[in-house]
Copies of this chain bind each other. A is one copy, B any other.
Amino acid sequence: MTKPQVVSTVRAMCGIVQAAQRSGQRVGVVPTMGALHDGHLSLVAASRAACDATVVTIFVNPTQFGPNEDFSRYPRTLEADLAKLAAAGADYAFVPDVAEMYPAGATTMVEPGEVAKPLEGQFRPGHFRGVATIVLKLFQAVPADAAFFGQKDYQQQLVVRRMVADLLLPIEIVVCPIVREPDGLAMSSRNVYLSADERHKALSLSRALKAAESLVTQGERDAATIASRMQTTLREAGIESIDYATVVDAQTLAAIDRIDSLAAALIAARVGTTRLIDNAILSVS
């Protein structure tokens, strides 16, 4: 159990990755905002399985938080994160400060495409602009061969994949399954905000997705019917603030009437003051 080497400057990090690649190594990167949980660690494991060296980035990115969001109180647990990365076998932790990632006067941004507009794009204006910009910057600082993202942030991985394709970025994007608590709650750094009562209510998100999957298994194909069932499940659990609970095209996130092949069931809801997201792929075989 060796500790990961902590690197804080873009120049040093980029040099380490390039040197590794010159010596024939394949490098994987796992971008995170820290507050690491088993979901993140599954990405580290996936990178270690596919690459010779793994870099985990830890950076709470200010530009992806809205003015009324939780940037200042977002959990910051660097020492615990580094211990987890040591146990998980990550080779490097890239931990830049804000000035390193956003040089003075920085105003150039990456404007993501159509797939960023619905859903999170509606409820968190500017969020994916911040995400696309920081991910592109992290790919410059850590010019890895492959990057590992979780399916939990479903629209985010679509935005990142689209950016990589559109801007011709020379990196492979690997998306790994959602990791859940034994009771079904999707792992999230924001789960620490939940009270015991809220945590209980929050189980209705994964329950609603299970209900959607069951309906599809039973032959239901109508998107509105499935969405309605998800919303009922959430409301019955006492969740009143639902941003969306919907069934859309799995690639474009466009509204659909019927599930023909692959759809995504996506939920964003507030439990108390904590906003949670969860999703499931609905596949018709």
One digit per residue, 1 when the CB lies within 8 angstroms of any chain B CB and 0 when it does not, for chain A 136-175 equals 1100110100000000000000000011011111100000
* Residues of B with C-beta under 8 A to A107: 112-115, 162, 166
Decide: A103 and B166 in contact? CB cutoff 8 A. Answer: yes
Decide: A140 and B168 in contact? CB cutoff 8 A. Answer: yes
Decide: B167 and A136 in contact? CB cutoff 8 A. Answer: yes
Decide: B170 and A140 in contact? CB cutoff 8 A. Answer: yes
Decide: B168 and A141 in contact? CB cutoff 8 A. Answer: yes
* Residues of B with C-beta under 8 A to A215: none
Question: Residues of A within 8 Å of B, CB-based: how many?
Answer: 33
One digit per residue, 1 when the CB lies within 8 angstroms of any chain B CB and 0 when it does not, for chain A 114-136 equals 11000000000000010011001
CA distance A102 to B166 in the complex (A): 7
Distance from A237 Cβ to chain B, minimum over Cβ atoms (Å): 37
* Residues of B with C-beta under 8 A to A115: 107
CA distance A165 to B137 in the complex (A): 10
Given contacts A10-B168, A136-B167, A140-B170, contact A108 B106 (CB under 8 A): no
Nearest to A139 among chain B residues (CB) is B168
* Residues of B with C-beta under 8 A to A102: 166
Distance from A168 Cβ to chain B, minimum over Cβ atoms (Å): 4
Decide: A140 and B167 in contact? CB cutoff 8 A. Answer: yes
Say yes or no for A22: interface residue by CB 8 A criterion.
yes
* Residues of B with C-beta under 8 A to A203: none
CA distance A114 to B105 in the complex (A): 9
* Residues of B with C-beta under 8 A to A103: 165-166, 168
CA distance A74 to B238 in the complex (A): 62
One digit per residue, 1 when the CB lies within 8 angstroms of any chain B CB and 0 when it does not, for chain A 80-108 equals 00000000000000000000011101111
* Residues of B with C-beta under 8 A to A106: 113, 165-166
